[in-house]
Structure 1
Amino acid sequence: MTDSKPAAGGPLPHMAFPKLGGGQIEIGGPRERHTLLVVYRGKHCGRCKKYLAGLEALKGDWEDAGFDVIAVSADPEPKAQSDVAEFGWSFDVGYDLGEAQMRTLGLYVSEPLSPQETDRRFAEPAVFCVRPDGIIQVVCLSNGPAARPDLAELLDGMKFNIAHNRPARGTA
């Protein structure tokens, strides 16, 4: 269960997590571009691979629309690196998302069903579209792997929101 839920129209909490290839990914606060942040369950999740393959296919379209594309999970570096090597993701991938960070983002957190699934608690899927001023335009939180927004539809909606300077909705 989430402790709190980030509000559409409110700021994305500031935090950092390690980035594959070195350095850190920082979210929250002002940036030059919009941000698409995708939280995925981890190496153990086949549905995540399919979803992130779709993200990879649309990455150029998201970037052309003015977005930095980021994915992050609770997986440790070796698992995240293994997935990037196997699936060829070219977007920034963060790892070691901590449980306190999951709670700050309002994510649903799950226990592994078995040691074969994974060895740690992990975040269920989420997608955040964040404006350059750090304000959340769209937030989609899921409590399971089968409920995620269609990335092509979301991109189309975000292009419209940007072109027409639409405010975040669902703020009441």
Structure 2
Amino acid sequence: MPTPKPVAGSILPPINLPKMGGGDIVIGGVRENWSLVVIYRGKHCSRCKKYLTILNDMRQKWQDAGFDIVVASADPVEKVQADLNEFGWSFDIGYDLSEQQMATLGVYVSDPLTETETDRRFAEPGVFVVRPDGSIVLISISNGPSARPELEELLDGMIFTKEKSRPPRGTA
């Protein structure tokens, strides 16, 4: 039986991944701050690189608003390291996201179209905003690389949601 997709207002259970630079990164679960979680397709995706570069340029705005940034993909450490070397992103990145972890997040999973694209199944984009208690405020998942929330608009909306203690929407 497939894992049910998470719903707004539910608790996102902690998902542990190895973190670039050592240690672990945790998606979901209880933490001190709100979190912006971005799941990306991997090194083969030029749209992901553009999106993550915009996020990197905005990271101080997100941090100033009280959000931790957590980024992850199914890529192995070597591919993530190659992207870090090229783009210099300075947020925490988890790697080796498993298919079971993808299912827990509810993201779509794709097979590579060619061997040159990648050598494993990978997660399609997902963006989540999670409260410190682990409850999901916002879920945005896409079945392809072209649909993702615009980060300035998302930040503006999440600052409003946080300041006004707005509940999660779309719970039914």
Relative to the length of structure 2, the TM-score reads: 0.97
SS at structure 2 position matched to 1:60: helix
CA distance, structure 2, for counterparts of residue 125 and residue 44 of structure 1: 13
One-letter amino acid matched to 2:100: A
Contact 1:129–1:136 (8 Å) recurs in 2:
yes
Q: CA RMSD in A?
A: 0.9
CA deviations on 1:59-78 (whole Å, 9 max, x unpaired) are 00000010110110000000
Q: 1:8-60, CA deviations, whole angstroms, 9 ceiling, x for partnerless residues?
A: 01111221000000000112221100111100000000000110011011100
Are positions 1:168 and 2:158 aligned together?
Answer: no
Aligned-partner residue type, residue 9 of structure 1: G
Unaligned runs of at least 5 residues, structure 2: none
Post-superposition offset of 1:81: 0.7
Q: How does 1:144-155 map to 2 (within 5 A)?
A: 144-155=144-155
Matched-pair identity in % = 61
**Does the 8 Å contact 2:107/2:123 carry over to 1?**
yes
**SS of 2:68 mapped into structure 1:** strand
Query: What residue is the counterpart of 1:22 in the other structure?
Result: 22
Aligned to 1:142: 142
Which consecutive aligned stretches of 4+ in structure 1 deviate over 3 angstroms post-superposition? none
* TM-score, L = length of structure 1: 0.97
Contact in 2 for aligned 1:17/1:94 (Cα 8 Å): yes
In the alignment, the residues of structure 2 paired with residue 13 and residue 127 of structure 1 have an alpha-carbon distance, to the nearest angstrom, of 16
1:8-157 equivalences under 5 Å are: 8-157=8-157
**Equivalences, count:** 171
Q: Do the aligned partners of 1:137 and 1:167 also contact (CA within 8 Å) in 2?
A: yes
Q: Work out whether residues 27 and 70 of structure 2, in 8 Å CA contact, stay in contact via their aligned partners in 1.
A: no
For 2:74 and 2:99, the matched residues in 1 are separated by 8
What is the one-letter code of the residue matched to 2:108? Y
Partner Cα distance (2:3, 2:14) in 1: 17
CA distance in 2: counterparts of 1:16 and 1:145, whole angstroms: 24
In structure 2, C-alpha distance between the alignment counterparts of 1:110 and 1:119, rounded to whole Å: 11
Contact 1:4–1:105 (CA<8 Å) still a contact in 2?
A: no
Asked whether the equivalents of residues 6 and 12 of structure 1 are also in contact (C-alpha less than 8 Å), the reply is yes
SS of the equivalent of 1:161 reads helix
Three-state SS of the structure 2 residue aligned to 1:31 is coil
Helix, strand or coil for the counterpart of 2:134? coil
What secondary structure, in the 3-state scheme, does the structure 1 residue paired with 2:56 have?
helix
Q: In structure 1, what residue type is equivalent to 2:30?
A: P
Cα deviation for residue 3 of structure 1 reads 4.2
